Copies of this chain bind each other. A is one copy, B any other.
Amino acid sequence: MCISISVDLTVRNRTGAITNQTRSVMDYNAILQRIKKEVSLHYGEGKIADYIPALSKIPPKKFGMAVKLVNGEEFHVGDAAETFSIQSISKVASLSLYIRKHGLEIGSRVGVEPSGTAFNSLVQLEYEQGIPRNPFINAGAIVIIDGLINLYPDLKQGILDFVRTNSQNNHIYFDEEVAASECATGNRNFALAHFMKSYGNINNDIHTVLDAYFHQCSLAMSCIDLVRCFYFLANEGITEDSLRILSRREAKRVNAIMLTCGTYDAVGDFAFRVGIPSKSGVGGGILGIIPKQMSIAVWSPELNAQGNSVLGMKAMELFTTYTGISVF
């Protein structure tokens, strides 16, 4: 039993001295294959996001999954190399950039507590005077973008550079059709931004802020791109190329926010079923971080009522079951 021990040891000592025997204990390829087969029973249980026309055209029967261990090994299955709209998963990138510049205390402009209501509610925002509950609800992500604009001469390019470099993939792009589609249907986000500006919590021009926000959400990436891009969160803030993106504490902060706020109004259910820090997007992607062990990405476009990928959640749940990894 207990493949996870070897994994764990690998991570913990971080010596690089990973013996062949530990490598062979866990057969990730077999696990991913098995997961792919099992989740296929759940096609048709969810619905593709239709609030953006550009998203609704995706073929529903897609499933891809990728895993990247902190030792650098990668495993994948299915459509793991196919790009999709990462949507809210991009908020992890901008939050990381923000914390990198501003440090841990992001608190005065945005909280770090679960929201407890629908992810784009204005009620809570009014109740709390224009301060969003956390950086993963739309309002909070917009504040983060606003805060980054002053730091980057060209924020859209900055975000693109960040994910391209981390993912070692210069072909990652903004899907302009999706971005335009989000803008055209983005009245609620415009409402959020204007509302926060009325409280003084947005400093820049609304259209500049939302243009960057909509582009960030339109990032087209694959599961493989994602596990590479966010590897540093599993590796205490350091990329595979040994670049420090965040301090150890800062990476811990991002992971904690993912666990408590990363999956809309299913945080509690996600914690129980999956039990690892995760961030989902309405494009059907889910990013998972097992601190000091690995990054995981899964994609399947059909969503449940909370806006999380049905097959994606199931796959994450099976993954933690078959590997024995869970924080609970």
Contact = CB atoms under 8 A, between A and B. Distances in A.
A16 interface: yes
A214 to B, nearest CB: 14
A15 B121 CA distance: 47
Contact of A256 (B10, B127, B271): B271
Interface stretch (A83-91, A187-195, A216-224): A187-195
A271 B260 contact: yes
A272 B291 contact: no
Contact of A5 (B12, B112, B251): B12
Contacts of A191: 122, 190-195, 198
A113 interface: yes
Given A187-B195, A252-B272, A268-B257, A121 B126 contact: yes
Contacts of A261: 268
A310 to B, nearest CB: 18
A10 B9 CA distance: 12
A255 interface: yes
Given A257-B268, A271-B260, A195 B122 contact: yes
Contacts of A7: 7, 10-11
A265 B124 CA distance: 14
A250 to B, nearest CB: 10
Nearest to A107: B269
Contacts of A16: 3, 6, 20, 23
Contacts of A251: 328
The CB with the most chain B CB atoms within 10 A, among A6, A8, A195, A272, is that of A272
A101 interface: no
A127 B188 CA distance: 15
A10 B14 contact: no
A104 to B, nearest CB: 8
Contacts of A292: 11-12, 14
Contacts of A124: 116-117
Nearest to A11: B292
A113 B268 contact: yes
Most buried by B among A23, A113, A115, A259: A113
Interface in A107-130: 111-117, 121-127
Interface in A29-85: 70-71
Interface string A235-266: 00000000000000001110111011100011
Interface of A: 1-16, 18, 20, 23, 70-71, 111-117, 121-127, 133-134, 187-188, 190-195, 197-198, 206, 251-253, 255-257, 259-261, 265-269, 271-272, 275, 277, 291-293, 326-328
